[in-house]
Amino acid sequence: MIDKKFKIANKNFKSRLIVGTGKYKSFNECAKAIKTSGADIVTVAVRRVNISDKNKARLMDYIDPKKITYLPNTAGCFTAEDAIRTLRLAREIGGWKLVKLEVLGDKKNLFPEMIETLRSTELLTKEGFKVMVYCNDDPLMAKRLENAGAVAIMPLAAPIGSGLGIQNRVNIKIIRRQTKLPLIIDAGIGQASDASIAMELGCDGVLINTAIAKAKNPIQMAEAMKFAVMSGRKSFLSGRINPNLFGSPSTTNKGII
Amino acid sequence: MKVKNKIKITVNGKQMQIIPRLSMRNLITKLKMPLNKIAIELNKKIIDKKRISKIQLKKGDKIEIVHFIGGG
C-alpha cells in the first residue's frame, strides 16, 4: 500500500518524525542526531542573543534553515500576547509562517493552558500564521482548535520531557476519528515503542525532543525513533488482526499424523 | 566624544552607553550581530530590518535582539 504524503499546510514532508533541538550536549551532537533521524522539520525557540559573547556558536550555523524546515515554538509563553510577540519575532528572523504554538499554564506539569491556546490560535491564524498547536488530548478542544484555523493538532502523550509514553490512547483514537488535519503526538515520548504506538493509533507524525537528546546515546536513539515511526506507520496501514482472547494455531491440523 | 555626552539605552536587559543619534544599523554592526539571523524589537515594536539605517536611537530606548536557539 502506498502511503499518502505527509502534508502540513499544503507542504509535503518526507519524514513523519519531527525533532526538537533543545537539551543536546552541543550543537554538533544536535545536528548529527537530526541528520540520523531523517527529520525534515525541527522545532526551535526564540531567545535573546548573548550580547556580551559575540562569538558564541549559533544554532543556524549548524542546522541550515534552507535544508531543514525550522518550526519556531513559543516555549516559555504563558499568555496569548507572549506567544504572538514571540512568533512575530520568529517570522521577522526569516519569514517563517509555519509555527508551533505552545501556551503553558503550569510551570510544574507544563500542561497547555487551553483557553489561551485557543485564543492565540485564532489571533495568529488571522495574522496569516500556519499554526500547529500543542494541546491536551481532549477531543472537544481539538475540534475547537480545528475550527479556529489550526493546521495541525498536536496533543501530548504525557507531560513534556516526562518520557511516560502515551497515557490516553482512547482520546488519541477519538481525535484521530474526528479530524482530517495532521495529528501529531507532541511531548511525552520515552522510547521507540512509544513512537510506534502513536503511529499505530493512526497519528500522522510524532514530535520528539527529550527522548532523543537525553538518551545515553542520542544519535542511536534518533535512528531508533526514525525506524519506530516508519514501522508504526506501516503497521497502521497494514491493518492489524483483531485481538482475540484465545489462541489460533498457526499450523493447520490437516494431515496430522 | 566625552562620556557625559553619551546616552543610555537598554539592550537585552543590559544598559549600554552610546553616542546620541546612533543608528540602529550602527548598533547592530557594533555588536557584530548577523542581520539575517536575528530579529529586533525597539520599545516592544518589531523593526523592519530593511529600515534599520533610518532609525536613530534615543535616550531610554529598550532594544531586544533575538535569535533561534535549541528548543522542543
Supply the residues of A annotated as catalytic.
Answer: 100
Nearest C-alpha in B relative to A188:
B72
Nearest to A102 by CA among A49, A63, A160: A160
Average pLDDT, stretch A237-246?
95
**Residue A60 falls inside a structural domain:** yes
Q: Is the pLDDT of residue A62 over 90?
A: yes
Nearest C-alpha in A relative to B40:
A89
Scanning A172-231 for CB atoms below 8 A from B yields 187, 207, 209-210
A175: alpha, beta or left? (left if phi > 0; alpha if psi -120 to 50): alpha
Domain residues for A217? 16-49+56-236
Q: Which of B32, B66, B68 sits opposite A60 (nearest CB)?
A: B68
Give tens-digit pLDDT for B26-65. 999 999 999 999 999 999 999 999 999 999 999 999 999 9
**Residue A247 falls inside a structural domain:** no
**Residue A4 falls inside a structural domain:** no
**Residue A109 falls inside a structural domain:** yes
| The C-alpha cell that represents A207 in the structure block | 514530535
If one counts the domains in chain A, the total is 1
**Residue A245 falls inside a structural domain:** no
Give tens-digit pLDDT for A189-226. 999 999 999 999 999 999 999 999 999 999 999 999 99
**Band of pLDDT at residue A155, cut at 50, 70 and 90:** very high
**Residue A79 falls inside a structural domain:** yes
Q: Is the ipTM here above 0.85?
A: yes
B39 interaction partners in chain A (CB closer than 8 Å): 46, 89-90, 92-93
